[in-house]
Structure 1
Amino acid sequence: MKLSRLGSVAVTLAALVGLGIGGAGVASAQEAAATSYVALGDSYSSGVGAGSYDSSSGSCKRSTKAYPVLWKNANAPASFHFTACSGAKTTDVINNQLGPLTSGTTLVSISIGGNDAGFADAMTTCVLQGESACIARINEARAYISNTLPSRLDAVYNAIRGKAPNARVVVLNYPRFYKLSGSCVVGLSERSRAAINDAADHLSDTIAKRVANHGFAFGDVRGRFTGHEICSGDSWLHSVDWFNITNSYHPKAAGQSGGYYPVMESLA
């Protein structure tokens, strides 16, 4: 009799444990299925340079190889809105990209700030006008990053939180562009390359501080791109592409999949 009762208890406990495990699995699946993801930002989020663009996205050049789409494909969220756009500044995000955000949005990703700081113009100056002009233009960008960009970032982060109060917000930064003392034997001077890298770090560090103040998650891609910069011999970034100039200084498909996507996956 006692053994029978003990056996019954054991079976009951086993069933409860099994239900506990099964319940956790169901809860996890339900959580994944309930994810509502909105991908905002500039060309680094839209996937310029990765190819395979959605024709309906026009000049925004949203790529099927961009990290937001890679994350969507791997995680199957309940809803996915991709509004990131090539050339976007903070004001463009606020004015044109926030439509899909609601109180039901649970995940947001964004890269923004590089266009505000004028990095495209700075890189053009560096390529076409030589070292002195390059350093001067980079210093202008650094001053903007220090003095003006923080309030611009605050404005876009506040707007995101206002429209998506319950979302986890992942803010991704930009890689360093050059491997110093690398394999490049022509092109920009080493001093210009170092100045560009330093400005990229200043931009990333400024973004990180604003992200922390807003309680968002900061996705730092610099470590993932280390060893894959321009002049590394295995670059995940386009250098100057004279045949398709918009590709220049943007991640290749390998940069999206090997650099951005793993960081997004680890934080989302």
Structure 2
Amino acid sequence: MPSHARLLVTGLLVACGTLAVTVGVTHFDGDSPAPPGKGPYVALGDSYTAGPKIPDQNGDPAGCDRSDRNYPSLVAVGLGLKGADFKDVSCSGATIADLAGKQSTEDGTNPAQLKALSHGTRLVTLGIGGNDIGFARTIERCVGMGALYALTSGFAPEDAPCARRYGDGVQDRTEAAGAKLAGALGEIRRRAPEARVYVVGYPAILPSDADRCGREMSLAPGDVTFLREQEQRLNAELRKRAEAAGAAYVDTYTPSEGRDACSAQGTRWIEPLVPKSPAAAVHPNARGERGMAEAVLRRTRSAL
């Protein structure tokens, strides 16, 4: 997600994460799929794919904030892919439009991600959509309102000042992102007709127990529920569009429940506003990227 979004309250610069990696096995032409491990493999996506601030950062341009321990890198290792058989072109701040067009970052320009595909590509993962619905911006607003509200009013369990102000239009934005994703999946099919395609969903960012997220995230309890439901709605749309296009969907939400930004430091996959592990705020840490990689690898193997 790197037009880095400013995540209020702590004054942190957050590399906006496009939360969603679709993991899917797509067999567009009806032939039997090639075995997993036989690349080339191309990883597409936003900051939840790239892994901003997780060491070591590598790749060009530097502004994409790719980690060599992000889930695509770990999937490549798990499948025994090396060198030219693996290409990660994910970039923080990416929207679905950046798949087909150049993306400017604070440190360089990322070429259109789809340019990495070819008729020789055999595996594609795609994690994108969060930036298209403005999820990082919504969290920023909710954090700001939550901090102010806590100082002036205190919280009741049902309080949701951000949802009341910004809740309208969520479904429309999500459906619009889904329509864009459908077009992108069609273009992936055209450029890489022999590839298995996996759409990777976003992991759980916030807990089901809204009352335990005030300290780490400065959110009103009702807004924790609002944001959690917004993410679930996005994942459902990603799944629907993936399956309609013949791609497979990778569920990273279920294995990450209880490992959200408000869970214990030693178990969480997502860092809170003030990260305790090397990672961007409200983004996966190394443990989270590893968990997402395991979900992708399970999906590719079960698909066979």
2:189 corresponds to: 161
Output the CA distance in 2 between the equivalents of 1:62 and 1:123: 23
Amino acid in structure 1 at the alignment position of 2:242: V
Match of 1:62 among 61, 66, 72: 66
1:230-258 CA-partner distances (Å, limit 9, x unpaired): 222232101113899x8121111100112
Give SS of 2:45's match. Answer: coil
Instruction: Tell me the equivalent position of 1:111.
Output: 127
Aligned-partner Cα distance in 1 for 2:212–2:222: 15
Equivalent position amino acid for 2:75 in 1: W
Letter in 1 for 2:204: R
Could you tell me the percent identity over the aligned residues?
28
Q: Which residue is 1:22 aligned to? A: none
Larger Rg: 1
**Cα shift at 1:50:** 2.9
Paired residues for 1:133-148 under 5 Å: 133-146=162-175, 148=176
Shift of 1:177: 1.5
More strand by share: 2
1:125 to 116, 123, 141: 141
User: Which of 219, 239, 248 does residue 281 from structure 2 map onto?
Assistant: 248
The 5 A counterparts of 1:228-239 are 228-233=259-264, 234-239=267-272
Write the letter of the residue equivalent to 2:187. Answer: A
Structure with more contact order per residue of length (Cα contacts < 8 Å, sep ≥ 6) = 2
Q: CA deviation at 1:135?
A: 4.2
CA distance in 1: counterparts of 2:35 and 2:192, whole angstroms: 18
Task: Work out which of the residue numbers 251, 262, 266 in structure 1 matches 2:294.
Answer: 262
The answer to whether the 8 Å contact 2:214/2:220 transfers is: no
Q: Is the 8 A contact 1:108 1:167 kept in 2?
A: yes
One of 57, 67, 78 as aligned partner of 1:53: 57
Q: For structure 2, list consecutive stretches of 5 or more residues without a partner in the other structure.
A: 1-33, 102-111, 147-159
Which whole-Å deviations, capped at 9, do the CAs of 1:138-189 have from their partners, x for residues lacking one?
443333103x122111111111111000100010011232113364443211
CA shift for structure 1 position 129:
2.2
Aligned AA (1:57): P
Q: CA, structure 1 residues 129+140, in 2 after alignment: closer, same or farther (shift >3 Å)?
A: farther
Per the alignment, in what secondary structure is the counterpart of residue 265 of structure 1? helix
Aligned amino acid, residue 194 of structure 1: T
* TM-score normalized by the length of structure 1: 0.81
| Distance in 2 between residues matched to 1:210 and 1:204, nearest whole Å | 10
Once the two structures are TM-superposed, the CA of residue 57 in structure 1 deviates from its matched residue by 3.5
More helix per residue: 1
Q: Which residue is 1:81 aligned to?
A: 87
Change (3 A) 1:241 1:218: same
Which runs of structure 2 are paired with 1:180-199 in the superposition (5 Å)?
180-181=208-209, 183-186=212-215, 187-199=218-230
Question: CA 1:33–1:168 in structure 2 vs 1: closer, same or farther (change >3 Å)?
Answer: closer
Gaps of 5+ in 1: 1-29
C-alpha distance in 2, partners of 1:219/1:85? 19
Runs of 4+ that moved beyond 4 A? 30-33
Alpha-carbon deviations, 1:177-215, whole Å to 9, x = none?
211336444321110000000000000001111011001
**Mean CA deviation greater in 204-213 or 45-54:** 45-54
Residue type at the aligned position of 1:219: V
**Structure 2: how far apart are the matches of 1:202 and 1:32?**
30
Contact 2:197 2:247 in 1 (8 A): yes
Count of residues in Structure 1 that have an aligned counterpart in Structure 2:
237
Structure-2 change in CA distance of 1:111 and 1:56 (3 Å): same
SS in 2 for 1:40: strand
Q: What is the distance in 2 between the residues matched to 1:32 and 1:184? A: 39
Matching residue's letter, 1:153 = L
